[in-house]
Copies of this chain bind each other. A is one copy, B any other.
Amino acid sequence: MSNNQNKGKINIIPLGGLGEIGKNMLVIEYNKDIIIVDSGMTFPEEDMLGIDLVIPDISYLVENKERIQAIFLTHGHEDHIGGLPYVLRQIDAPIYGTKLTLGLVGGKLAEHDLGKEIDLRVVTPGSSINVGEFQVEFIKVSHSIPGAVALGIHTPIGIILHTGDFKFDQTPVDEEVTDFHRLAELGDKGVLLLLSDSTNSESPGYTMSERAVGASFDEMFRLAKQRIIVATFASNVHRIQQVVDAACKYKRKIAIAGRSIDNVTNIAAELGYLNIPEGMYVDLDEIDNVAPDRLVILTTGSQGEPMSALRRMANNDHKKVGIVPGDTVIISASPIPGNEKLIAKTINDLFKLGAEVIYKDLSAVHVSGHASQEEQKLMLNLTKPKFFMPVHGEYRHLVFHSQLAKKVGVKSENIFIIENGNVLEITQERGKVVNKVTSGNILIDGYGVGDVGNIVLRDRRQLARDGIVIVVVTIEKELGNVLAGPDIVSRGFVYVRESEELMDEAKERVRAVLAKCEEAKITEWSTIKSQIRDVLRKYLYEKTKRKPMILPIIMEV
Contact = CB atoms under 8 A, between A and B. Distances in A.
Contacts of A399: 351
Interface stretch (A130-138, A506-514, A544-552): A544-552
A551 B488 CA distance: 12
Given A451-B494, A463-B464, A467-B460, A472 B555 contact: yes
A347 B394 CA distance: 10
Interface string A271-293: 00000000000000000000000
Interface in A335-355: 337-338, 340-341, 344-345, 347-349, 351-352
Interface stretch (A45-53, A223-231, A315-323): A45-53
Contact of A553 (B19, B489, B557): B489
Contact of A456 (B19, B338, B487, B493): B493
A555 B394 contact: no
A341 B48 CA distance: 14
A395 interface: yes
Interface in A373-411: 394-396, 399
Contact of A546 (B446, B467, B487, B551): B446
Nearest to A543: B447
A160 to B, nearest CB: 26
A465 interface: yes
A344 B19 CA distance: 10
Contacts of A4: none
A430 to B, nearest CB: 23
A349 B394 CA distance: 10
Interface string A181-198: 000000000000000000
A456 B467 contact: yes
Contacts of A501: none
A463 B491 contact: yes
B348 A396 contact: yes
A365 interface: no
A219 interface: no
Given A394-B348, A468-B468, A491 B459 contact: yes
Contacts of A347: 396
Nearest to A337: B340
Given A338-B340, A341-B338, A470 B49 contact: no
A555 B494 contact: no
A306 B506 CA distance: 32
A126 interface: no
Contacts of A173: none
Contacts of A491: 459, 463, 468, 549, 551
A474 B484 contact: yes
A85 to B, nearest CB: 14
A362 interface: yes
Interface in A421-453: 445-448, 451-453
B555 A487 contact: yes
Contacts of A474: 474, 483-484, 555, 557
A459 B467 contact: yes
A395 B314 CA distance: 13
A478 interface: no
Interface string A467-497: 1101011100000000111010101111100
Nearest to A345: B19
Of A394, A445, A453, A487, the most chain B CB neighbours within 10 A belong to A445
A455 interface: yes
Contacts of A495: 451-453, 455-456
A413 interface: no
Contacts of A499: 451
A519 interface: no
A175 interface: no
A361 interface: yes
Contacts of A544: 445-448
Contacts of A556: 484
A394 B49 contact: no
Nearest to A398: B351
B447 A485 contact: no
Nearest to A453: B495
A448 B494 contact: yes
30 contacts: A49-B465, A50-B467, A337-B341, A337-B344, A340-B340, A348-B394, A348-B396, A351-B395, A351-B396, A352-B395, A445-B544, A448-B494, A448-B544, A451-B498, A452-B495, A456-B492, A456-B493, A456-B494, A460-B463, A460-B465, A463-B464, A463-B468, A468-B491, A472-B472, A472-B553, A472-B555, A484-B556, A484-B557, A489-B551, A555-B555
Given A50-B464, A456-B492, 4 more contacts: A45-B341, A202-B362, A457-B492, A461-B464
Q: Which 10 A-B pairs give the minimum distances between C-beta atoms?
A: A446-B545, A464-B464, A463-B463, A459-B492, A460-B492, A50-B465, A348-B395, A484-B555, A446-B546, A49-B464
